[in-house]
Chain A
Amino acid sequence: MSNGVITESSVLDALRSVMDPDLGRDIVSLNFIRNMKIEGGVVSFDVNLTTPACPVKDRLREQSRQAVLSGVPGVIDVRVNMTAEVRRPPALGTNRIKGVKNIIAVGSGKGGVGKSTVAANIAVALAKSGARTGLLDADIYGPSIPIMMRSVGEPEMKDQLIQPVEAHGVKLMSMGYLSGEMPLIWRGPMAHKAVQQSLLGVNWGELDYLVVDLPPGTGDVHLTLVQSVPVTGAVIVSTPQDVGLQISMKTFRMFQQTKVPILGIVENMSSYVCPHCGKHDDIFGHGGAVRAAEALGVPFLGEIPLDAAIRKHSDGGVPVVLAEPDSPSGLAFAAITGKLAQQISIQAFRSIPLTILED
């Protein structure tokens, strides 16, 4: 065995064969390799990914290990430590929320497609993976996040900033807090003001992801969001039905017109599994969202079955991805969140800084 000839550059050369499948580049040129130590024949290093919710984490770990074991003579063991640091897209404009790296809008064409359920489960799944996550319930017509997240208490004001409440590791702010039991009967300018305050007037602290649950359709709240802050991207939730999809397309086009990248489409209420006989029944049809995503050239993030567990846990205040992570719907939400996190990382690498240079 040749000893003492293992160099950092020989290890890095071996690791250049490992590609990040989403970013399409090798993990060395992406600057993912950190804290390399070589002690005798044992090599250890960190692989610093772009999101803790990365679905190919284990594959990259094994590929890195194998690449060094087989590619560098003299290595007897490789210890790979997987870490993650969510990258901030290049600064877009000046009106960004301080400390918040990515803003993800969750929208739908019409109401009742499960948009808030999807938003809550994505936020909880991101937090569970170790990412610092916030959830803003911007649905002025029917704020439901406080119930789904069983958050207690109301946010307090401190130093003229709203202090978000915390539930299941997620920082929460809801339009529901602004009204209590009363309905919000607002004209456009009031909605505009309230949305701006709950985006910019909240002490979010340091966040990797801020998930914004939008009201259905396209309206004042959407415009305020896309005009006030640079939105990293949007997720569109739809049922498989054509009517649901057609209306979702309007939401899609609104995001397109305001240059908010579409991170993907989620098909909710995809099929019903009978708890008595186990048979599948496609109550609202099936696969409509996949076809729409293909036609539009945007990622399809996955489908969520129509499952009584989702409703039960939403009403109980613990999103299903946390309450029953191994149930079909829990697994579906986890997979969708992983794919979404990948898309966000891709977007962060792709976007170009948009600032006005003054001469």
Chain B
Amino acid sequence: MLTTPEQRTTPAEIRKKKGEGIVIRWQDGHTSTFGARFLRGRCPCAQCVSESTGQRLVSEEHINPDVAIEAARTVGNYALHFDFTDGHTTGIYSFEYLRRICPCEDCA
């Protein structure tokens, strides 16, 4: 199936599953499942990634294995925002970024 970059990075459905994290079905038909700890360890905010060097400062191994997503919201049309149970709330995860970090076997 021919798909456009637009379809690859636009969700058709977003689900927040208890204990599992976030599941996004994209418009091109692909499905990504993101665990809470996986997402927390890839937070793109300025506290977790150095603004000047782009180096990751906080990654998955620094995160408590029990971390969960307390709340999830959409940001305008283009991103998701999460409140994690460890108190971290500053990341804005664009759909483009989320698709890029899809942890499934085909993508990773």
Which chain A residues have a beta carbon within 8 Å of chain B's beta carbons? 92-95, 225-231, 257-260, 352, 354-359
Given A357-B16, A359-B17, A359-B18, also A92-B78 (CB < 8 A): no
Given A227-B92, A259-B95, also A356-B15 (CB < 8 A): yes
CB nearest neighbor in A for B11: A354
Could you tell me if B14 and A356 are in contact, using CB atoms closer than 8 angstroms? yes
A-B contact pairs, 19 of them (CB 8 A): A92-B74, A93-B74, A94-B73, A226-B77, A227-B92, A230-B74, A230-B76, A258-B78, A259-B78, A352-B12, A354-B14, A355-B14, A356-B15, A356-B73, A356-B74, A356-B80, A357-B13, A357-B15, A359-B18
- Tell me which residues across on chain A come within 8 A of B78, comparing CB atoms: 226, 257-260
What is the bound-complex CA distance between A95 and B14, given in angstroms? 16
Interface size on B, residues (CB 8 A): 23
CB nearest neighbor in A for B80: A356
Interface residues of B in 55-108 (CB under 8 A from A): 72-80, 92, 94-96
State which of A94, A260, A356, A357 has its C-beta within 8 Å of the C-beta of B77: A260
Between B76, B78, B79, B95, the greatest number of chain A beta carbons within 10 A of the residue's beta carbon is seen for: B76
CB nearest neighbor in A for B13: A357
State which of A260, A354, A358 has its C-beta within 8 Å of the C-beta of B16: A358
- Tell me which residues across on chain B come within 8 A of A227, comparing CB atoms: 75-76, 79, 92
Q: Say what secondary structure dominates the interface of chain B.
A: strand
Given A359-B17, A359-B18, also A259-B12 (CB < 8 A): no
Given A230-B77, A231-B77, also A356-B12 (CB < 8 A): no
Give me the 3 closest cross-chain CB pairs, A-B, nearest first: A259-B78, A93-B74, A259-B77
* 4 additional contacts (CB under 8 A) given A259-B95, A357-B14: A93-B74, A228-B76, A260-B78, A352-B12
- Tell me which residues across on chain B come within 8 A of A259, comparing CB atoms: 10, 76-78, 95
CB nearest neighbor in B for A93: B74
What is the bound-complex CA distance between A230 and B72, given in angstroms? 16
State which of A225, A260, A352, A355 has its C-beta within 8 Å of the C-beta of B74: A355
How many Å from the CB of A213 to the closest CB on chain B? 18
Given A227-B92, A257-B94, A259-B10, also A356-B76 (CB < 8 A): no
Could you tell me if B16 and A356 are in contact, using CB atoms closer than 8 angstroms? yes
How many Å from the CB of B79 to the closest CB on chain A? 8
What is the bound-complex CA distance between A226 and B77, given in angstroms? 7
How many Å from the CB of B32 to the closest CB on chain A? 14
- Tell me which residues across on chain A come within 8 A of B10, comparing CB atoms: 259, 352
CB nearest neighbor in B for A232: B77
Between A94, A228, A230, the greatest number of chain B beta carbons within 10 A of the residue's beta carbon is seen for: A230
- Tell me which residues across on chain B come within 8 A of A230, comparing CB atoms: 74, 76-77
CB nearest neighbor in B for A358: B16
- Tell me which residues across on chain B come within 8 A of A229, comparing CB atoms: 76
How many Å from the CB of A220 to the closest CB on chain B? 14
CB nearest neighbor in A for B92: A227
- Tell me which residues across on chain A come within 8 A of B17, comparing CB atoms: 359
Could you tell me if A226 and B76 are in contact, using CB atoms closer than 8 angstroms? yes
Given A227-B92, A257-B94, A356-B72, also A92-B16 (CB < 8 A): no
- Tell me which residues across on chain B come within 8 A of A93, comparing CB atoms: 73-76
Could you tell me if A260 and B76 are in contact, using CB atoms closer than 8 angstroms? yes
Could you tell me if A359 and B73 are in contact, using CB atoms closer than 8 angstroms? no
What is the bound-complex CA distance between A201 and B92, given in angstroms? 23
Given A354-B14, A359-B15, also A257-B96 (CB < 8 A): yes
Could you tell me if B15 and A258 are in contact, using CB atoms closer than 8 angstroms? no
